[in-house]
Amino acid sequence: MATPLLLFGTYFLAEEMFDLISDIGGYEITGFVENLDRERCKLEIEGRRVYWIDEVAELARTHLAICALSTTRRKELVERMGLMGFKLATLVHPTARVSSRAKLGEGTFISALATVSTRTVLGRSVFVNRGATIGHHTTIGDYCSIQPGANVAGVITIGPQTYVGMGANVIEHRKIGTGCIIGGGAVVTEDLPDRVLAVGVPAKVVRTNVELK
């Protein structure tokens, strides 16, 4: 029997995750959950109901949940899910390659064609988008998002709530702080402190004190 699953999120990524999860098997997505715009609850997505977030707490007894946001707001939503009692699904697309020696935290989602190498640790509710690669002996903190085609090399530490943009590269043996944003296509060759926006080749800090959601 398939495990019932709720997707917390109602925008384009939620639709893509619906499609990807259908390839995994063993789960039945019974609905989507919206937390910002109640008007979206008038919609259906893939023929499924869109619930308002205050309506789903009773489903925590029978459903797993997963976050369908890849933005810096992941932590806020996942923590709210936990307060309602939801346990998080940890999902890996069948075309991804995840080492048997890697560790994935609760609620992590590994998309199609992604790679997670040996002795690498991903924290709670990390989102690894399609085609991203994460090298060996790397640690990625809770609530991080690694976007399509990003290449995080080996022996790297990335702090919680950091966002690595599409096609970005992080060179080996680097330490990236908490709450950073690495722009699409950037090449990170130096360590980054907490809460900075870094862009360019090589990446340079262009903003400090990035707001954490």
Q: Is 152 among the domain residues?
A: yes
Residue 213: per-residue pLDDT: 64
Q: Is 213 among the domain residues?
A: no
Residue 70: per-residue pLDDT: 87
Based on the domain organization, do 201 and 97 belong to the same domain?
yes
pLDDT along the chain (213 residues), means of 10: 95 96 96 95 96 96 96 89 97 98 98 98 98 98 97 98 97 97 98 98 97 75
First and final CA of the chain: distance in angstroms? 37
Taking Cα atoms as reference points, which of 21, 141, 149, 158 lies closest to residue 74? Answer: 141
Q: How many domains is the chain partitioned into structurally?
A: 2
Domain span at residue 181 reads: 91-207
Residue 149: per-residue pLDDT: 98
Based on the domain organization, do 192 and 150 belong to the same domain?
yes
Based on the domain organization, do 137 and 151 belong to the same domain?
yes
Residues marked as catalytic = 136
Q: Is 97 among the domain residues?
A: yes
Based on the domain organization, do 95 and 193 belong to the same domain?
yes
- The Cα–Cα gap between 198 and 7 comes to 31
- The Cα–Cα gap between 130 and 112 comes to 5
Q: Is 212 among the domain residues?
A: no
